[in-house]
Amino acid sequence: MNKEIIEFIKETEKKITPEGIATTFSNAQKLMKLPKFIQNFIIRQNTKPNQYMGFVVEPYSLFLAYEITPEQVSVYLPDSYELEPISIFEHSDKKLCAIIGCFNVHTSVFWGSRYELYVIARNKTTNLISWLICDYESNTFHYDPGQGFLPATLQKSIFTTSYNGKLICDIESQNNRTRMDLIIDINQYNCIFLNQRLWIEGNLSIDYAGELDNNGNDPFGLIFDPMEMKCAQHIQADQIEIRQLDFGFINSQMKPFEACCFPFAQHYLTTVFPQGHMMKDENDLYAKISEIVGK
């Protein structure tokens, strides 16, 4: 690992402090009471001096891929996107898919757990594979451009590991039917190469869909070391002990066709208020990292 990447990791972590998170939490509780357009204005004004926030996904983040049909996700697919077959891993069969992501995260503005449901599609304008966020749950306050600041949505949120290598997920929503209860033995799996179009290109084009509409704003991208997206543990989907799983249009009768786990932290910088950008590939990421750590 070169010095530039180490400095990027340090820069990302340095932006995250307990004091900063506590201040943001206090302010968010006040902002929630304001109209959404005022919330957005305040955020834009306050983030002008420092547009980037640190976003660190902690080890053992989990991703489950489900095969879908166009009919299942028609209400989540904006006109500017079309479904395209994709896979989690480099040499796997590609299918139209939705992905559930589960992760613990600490950021410049909140610390907690996130559970997100994505539809994977191609942006017709940029031709980039994109992660479309169509639903999410969280055990802490959160913000999205379509709804502003919102309180936690979960009445129970457990996402952790045991001493003997079990990954345990048990969550339950406060207001809807979202429920996940599963256990995975992550001892037995090796890391293998990921599909780079999904994991690098896709993380440069993230958008909101369905009720989380991004108000016509451009897709946003994360800034990260591409090496953190090169490989992950290949989880045998049929070995996952799923006791219950209902999330958006995914239900317990559906079985994931692929799954992966990242046994290391992933470090991102992103803008506090989602913004479009010109990055399209790995070279653009390294150039952006050089620009950031060189300041």
pLDDT of the residue at 295: 63
Closest Cα to residue 271, out of 8, 54, 33, 28?
54
- Find, among 105, 93, 61, the residue nearest to 229 by Cα: 61
The secondary structure of 193-254 as a DSSP string is EB-HIIIIIGGG-EEE-GGG--TTPPPB--EE-GGGGSEEEEE-GGG-EEEEEEBTTB-TT-
Encoded tokens for 38? 């005022």
Q: Where are the domains of the chain?
A: 3-155+186-238+250-293
Strand 97-107 versus strand 81-83 pairing type: unpaired
| pLDDT value at residue 50 | 63
Size (the chain), residues: 295
Mean pLDDT by 10 residues, the chain (295 residues): 89 86 67 55 52 90 98 93 97 97 91 96 95 94 69 95 96 95 91 97 92 71 95 94 96 95 95 69 93 82
Alpha carbon 15 to chain centroid, angstroms:
19
pLDDT of residue 53: 83
Give Rg (Cα) of the chain.
Answer: 18
Coil, helix or strand for 75? helix
Distance CA 222, CA 130 (A): 12
Q: Is 55 buried (19+), middle (13-18) or exposed (0-12) by CB count in 10 A?
A: buried
Res 45: pLDDT? 46
pLDDT (0 to 100) of residue 272: 63
What pLDDT is recorded for position 124?
A: 95
How much is the pTM?
0.91
